[in-house]
Amino acid sequence: MTTTASAPDAARSMTMGEFFALVREGRLVVQRCAACGALTVPPKVVCPSCEGVRWDRATLGGDGEIASYTVIRVPPAQHAPEAPYVIAVVRMAEGVSLLGRLTGVPVDGASVGMPVRFGLGFAVGGDFMPNPNTLFWGGAGGSLAIIDMDARATYAYAMNKMGGGRAGDMRAFAPISAVWEALASQTRGRRTPDREHPHPVRGAT
């Protein structure tokens, strides 16, 4: 699903700075050619489909699936504590592709065709977490933080023994399940985490 974004200067092409500023706000806004309607990302001056130079803006819905991926085992120095991690090319529902980092899933859990959803910082839990309004973040060594918006509960798990830099260490799931089983005894409609459900991507790069 796309929605057309209006802006006084929408006829011109976006800059990369504008694109990433919107991403940091949690919005996937791309260019739509005013002549042929083709979507394009990253921003371009000339439409690759018809060579048009006038643009509208369109906001993507955020849903897609993994088209390809790679496991980063030797990362840049600033990301060394987080390795290994997955970088994925995601084919969005609207047809364009984005590059992003997959979070909340072990590196051997990624697969082509896996449904994902754009998220920034915290990923949206969906069926993976106790309810659809749960946000989560997987950190280095298997640490995990969860915010359940409906239960008004926050849970954080930090490893006292690092798991080799991996995110999504399964040791975190036993206490998570215990916490939400306790919540479920007081509040109807909660679900315990489904370890097999695919996970969202954290952001676009």
Determine the pLDDT at residue 75.
80
Determine the pLDDT at residue 106.
80
- Asked if pLDDT for residue 35 goes beyond 90, the answer is yes
Determine the pLDDT at residue 117.
85
Determine the pLDDT at residue 204.
42
> Where are the chain's structural domains?
2-60, 63-119, 123-200
Give the full edge-to-edge strand order of the sheet including 39-40: 2-5, 55-60, 29-33, 39-40
51: confidence class by pLDDT, cuts 50, 70, 90? very high
Please state, in angstroms and rounded to a whole number, the distance separating the CA atoms of residues 144 and 132. 17
Please state, in angstroms and rounded to a whole number, the distance separating the CA atoms of residues 193 and 175. 11
Determine the pLDDT at residue 124.
59
The 10s digit of each residue's pLDDT in 113-133 is 999 888 766 665 555 566 666
* Cα atoms in the 13 Å half-sphere on the side-chain side of 57: 18
Residue that wins the pLDDT comparison between 84 and 175: 84
Residue that wins the pLDDT comparison between 185 and 43: 43
Residue that wins the pLDDT comparison between 109 and 200: 109
- Asked if pLDDT for residue 53 goes beyond 80, the answer is yes
Please state, in angstroms and rounded to a whole number, the distance separating the CA atoms of residues 16 and 204. 12
Mean of pLDDT values over 78-101: 86
- Asked if pLDDT for residue 95 goes beyond 60, the answer is yes
Mean of pLDDT values over 48-63: 92
